[in-house]
Structure 1
Amino acid sequence: MLPPELGTLQDPEDQATEYMHYRQFFGVWETFARVVECQALEQPQMNKETRVAWLNDYKGLIEQAREDTIKLLTTDWLTSELEVKNSDRRRRDLVRIRQTYIPELIIRLHSILVNSRSRIHENIKHALSLVNIVADSRYRLYDDFSSQDGRRLGDYLGAVRQAVLAGLEGGGSDPFRVLSL
């Protein structure tokens, strides 16, 4: 983490904006870690009261992770004027960072939502709604799935396929039924 004093940067604006983008990213990453830690606290021998408290904490963390991730994905994270004002090398560096972490954030959020569906039934709907954000031409997140090293769009689409199949677990043959529940 960078020193807290950097959060008060006003000039140059590019550096302050980039710093805030990194803080936003690390906040999301930390929330993902907290979700995993909370999930690990579940024990089969929990009494009813403890299980309800745990489930409320777990739900809250997943909701925070979902909201924070979607906020990051729907803003111009590490883009905007930085591309125009800085050198080509810097622009390529930022694109490479996006191509590394945007797919990872999307797939991690998707996995958290799908894996928690047995305890929080609406999360399968949230996982399938994430597809619309990835496909939205305003955000162009699909461009960040590199076909080279790292995650490819095919990996994400395979995970979406599994989520659709999981949505059919409740019965019925309509794969979109889960979206209307």
Structure 2
Amino acid sequence: MISVQVHDQPEGVGSRRTVEAKLGRKQGTFTERRIIHDETARVMAFVIEADTFGLGKLLAHTGSLMRLEPLDNGRTRLTWSFFHEPRNAVARLMNRLMILRQQRRNRLRALESFKSYAETGAARRPPAELGPVEAAPAGTTMDEPSPAWEDRTAPHANHSGPQ
């Protein structure tokens, strides 16, 4: 992630933001809408409504869900899962050969950045300093993308998770 522009304040269910990011070698943007915002359960989720990467041509119902879980000794577990549905046979093939692998690399780098910031307060290290990513950083959970789900209850704030 390079930058985030929040469009709606306060942030909550229905709020939108534009994220500038680099996916692989390509830099672009995607616009997300928050579909879950539950501070009590420490969960939030977004769906991507538009992107300049071309993901929308291949994938439908694309988004992510983040959950924070307090652990002992002041530690916290961040579980971050992605969901999407390939639009056709070509997209299903690309999903298995490329998309899932690239998502995993991007997610691991982002988790490393979150972990570094939480532990040190330091800004994100440049990707060149991170080196190859082989395993999830300690204290993180890596989920395989789950089946897509629709935010049938949005914009109600009591939406609690996948349907």
> Would you say same fold, with TM above 0.5?
no
Structure with larger Rg: 1
Q: Tell which has more relative contact order, 1 or 2 (C-alpha 8 A, sep 6+).
A: 2
More helix as a share of residues: 1
Q: What TM-score does the superposition give when structure 1 sets the normalisation length?
A: 0.27
Q: What TM-score does the superposition give when structure 2 sets the normalisation length?
A: 0.29
